[in-house]
Chain A
Amino acid sequence: MGPDSLAAALTATTVAVAAAVLLSALWDRGAGVRRAAVRAATALLCLLTAGAAAGIWVNRQVDTWTSWSALLGRDPVATTGAAAPAAGHGGGRLVTLTVAGAASGLTLRVPAYLPAAYDRQRTQRFPVVEALHGYPGSPAAWLNRLAAARHLDQEITAGRMAPTVVLFPPQTPSPLLDTECTNLVGGPQAETFLTVDVPAAAEAQLRVRTDRAGWGLIGYSAGGYCATNLALRHPDRYAAAASLSGYADPGITIGDGSEHTLNDDRWRLRHLPPPAVALYLSSGRADRTAHHDAEALRRLARPPLTVTTTYVDGGGHSMSVWEAAEDPAFDWLSGWLGRPVTVT
């Protein structure tokens, strides 16, 4: 029963109700200091249990903590295990890579989706997509809330997507530290982890393509910004990127001022030669900031940069929008990546 489970949420709600009942039942008991202490303790219990119940329900939405040990800071990179569902019957499967980042100094676990063809065609190397989560969040959000494995099975089976390995790397070593996939000055080197260490580990541990034609990015919310920003910054590594409700700038302080320059995608498109990468920008029209930023990037894009935009009427900044958008985004991405190739 993890902190993102329905059982935990229902239990916390029950405890909050019980705390309120306890408060009213014990309010008139005892006398003097003891009565005051009981009243204070039960009132505090009410506040804590109500807050905890609300927190667990919110955590269920964003999947920031998927284990109690992660919540307590003992295993901050726990992302899979019981919380990660297996892919559908006859479809792909999930494995977990341990990425000991020699370049970034970060050691984190990375869930990976292997398509069914991965086990059938053992002489092939497959294209790869790095799927980046939002903030707050964790890779488990892709697997649980967005049911990525089921959607990938469905799209591959339908012939709209090539068999593809999809990696779900965490973009921060601490769930509450927002890196926006950048190298924070004096902090985690998330960009290096995602663009150097994760590819190196995947190429060493899995049968995946090693060239840029075989690598793409996708992300939602903060992960959407990550996808476009990393593709623009590393066109030698990635051929295409899809952003679901991503922004054009990180919205955090990186420490070197680059949030206003090299890590601001609008600034990059205004001041630097555009790279030959393909971007897919999707959002709900009612998600004003994401929609505005996507339109700004579309207007600033010049060849050889290619930008495709798709908008959902209405829609907010929510999982329902991203689940609606993930199928076409994965399909589009696959159309820009090289095919599985036979190992030579």
Chain B
Amino acid sequence: MSLTGLPLLIAVAVLAVGAAVVTARTWHRRGRGRALTRAAAVLLTEVLALLAVGLAVNRAEGFYPTWGDLLPAGTGRHDTEPARAGRLDRWLASRSPTPTAPVAFPWHPPRGGRWPVTATPTVVVPADYPQHPTRRYPVIAVLADHTTGPGEATAARTVEQDTGPVIVVFTHLRPGAGPTVLTEALPAGLARDLRVTSHSWALIAPADLTGLARDVVRAAPARYPALALVDDAPEPTGLAVPPDLPATETVAVIGASTHHPGRPADRLAVALRWACRQTPVPLDGPAPLIPPPPQAGSPSTGG
């Protein structure tokens, strides 16, 4: 009999009324233990009446559809399923099982030959990546230009020591490249080769690629909710945040006119630190949803 079904409710209500009638009719019956009999009858009537009210409320609100739902929640183990390994995980582990510094390497993504790039992308993987094979890492995508080349890997290594673990990928796109490389090809390629999150990345763009960066975050605001624009000019150039970015986009301009301008050569590192702070901590996959205890009694959920 279902906990939310009409039959149970009617049965308990009839029992409550019956108990009240029997209590009234036997109230004056004499005999030994009359006081206890009366008390028991009153309590039985009260319990049945309250039970009927509770069942009616439960039927209306659906708090406990089955008998099993009345039991305490199960406490199963929360074994995290390992994240799907990246294609490069084994190679990275074999390079150095316990690296003490981030690992930088030229990345050849699947079908990367068709990408509109002027140089092979560089990926910098945090030092703890091989040690946490169940974690997924956020990504900072850097639209690299001629000024970032020499120090890009060094800057990425520095940011991890200062701010925390994150995967950094330096792309070297040809002028005129469209946003789909960053909104589709790059995420797909990285997700195949490394354990990366599917959202909450950050994007860094030099001043001359502001238009492309705008198109990227407009097309994929959940992927790139944070954007850093880097102005390498030694003097303020008036680099402005594009006005038509999503309202939820977090944007920083790092240049001579900002609060911490630093030397032009340091601005990439500043941007990387800022971008890393916008991303989540690398985490294991969520705990599995442990269902409430097996439903004892009625398998029915309705009345």
Contact = CB atoms under 8 A, between A and B. Distances in A.
Q: Do these two chains interact? A: yes
Interface of A: 16-17, 20-21, 23-25, 27, 46, 50, 54, 154-155, 158-162, 211-213, 235-236, 239, 275-278, 282, 284, 286-289, 303-304, 306, 310, 312-321, 323-325, 327-328, 331-332, 334-342
A129 to B, nearest CB: 13
7 contacts: A158-B80, A160-B285, A278-B222, A313-B291, A314-B66, A334-B281, A338-B200
A303 B248 CA distance: 13
A27 B35 CA distance: 9
A341 to B, nearest CB: 5
B71 A161 contact: no
Interface residues of B, number: 65
A302 to B, nearest CB: 12
Contacts of B301: 286, 314
A275 B43 CA distance: 56
A185 to B, nearest CB: 27
A220 to B, nearest CB: 12
Contacts of B68: 314
A50 B279 contact: no
Interface string B210-254: 000000000011100110000000000000000000111110000
Nearest to B250: A213
Contact of B283 (A159, A286, A314): A159
Contacts of A338: 200, 277-280
Contacts of B279: 338-339
A282 B288 CA distance: 13
A23 B246 contact: no
Interface stretch (B57-65, B103-111, B185-193): B57-65
Given A314-B65, A320-B69, A328-B286, A335 B247 contact: no
A334 B290 CA distance: 19
B74 interface: yes
B197 interface: yes
Given A337-B280, A338-B280, A314 B292 contact: yes
A284 B287 contact: no
Contact of A334 (B248, B277, B283): B283
Contacts of A337: 280
Interface of B: 27, 34-40, 42-43, 46, 50, 54, 61-66, 68-69, 71-74, 78, 80, 132, 134-135, 163-164, 197, 199-200, 220-222, 225-226, 246-250, 276-281, 283-293, 295, 301-302
B280 A20 contact: no
Contacts of A312: 289, 291-292
Contact of B73 (A54, A160, A303, A320): A320
Contacts of B302: 286
Nearest to A288: B62
Contact of A336 (B34, B66, B135, B199): B199
A160 B43 CA distance: 50
A46 B286 contact: no
Contact of A211 (B37, B65, B250): B250
Of all A-B residue pairs in the complex, the 7 with the closest CB atoms, nearest first, are A24-B38, A331-B286, A162-B281, A320-B73, A276-B221, A327-B287, A286-B65
Given A159-B132, A160-B284, A236-B248, A324 B291 contact: yes
B179 to A, nearest CB: 14
Most buried by A among B34, B246, B286, B291: B286
Given A159-B283, A275-B247, 11 more contacts: A16-B43, A20-B39, A50-B46, A54-B50, A161-B283, A162-B280, A282-B289, A306-B222, A316-B64, A328-B287, A328-B289
A24 B222 contact: no
Contact of A316 (B35, B66, B277, B293): B66
B62 A289 contact: yes
A341 B159 CA distance: 13
A213 B225 contact: yes
Nearest to B300: A286
Given A160-B286, A328-B287, A319 B73 contact: yes
Nearest to A213: B278
Nearest to B166: A339
Most buried by B among A20, A278, A316, A336: A316
Given A46-B42, A235-B248, A160 B63 contact: no
Contact of B200 (A20, A161, A282, A336): A336
B247 to A, nearest CB: 6
A331 B134 CA distance: 14
Given A24-B39, A341-B277, A160 B197 contact: no
A282 B290 CA distance: 12
A162 B283 contact: yes
Given A236-B248, A320-B72, A335-B286, A160 B80 contact: yes
Contacts of B37: 24
A21 B39 CA distance: 5
B280 A336 contact: yes
A286 B66 contact: yes
A275 B197 CA distance: 21
Contact of A320 (B50, B71, B248): B71
Contacts of B247: 235-236, 275-276
A276 B245 CA distance: 11
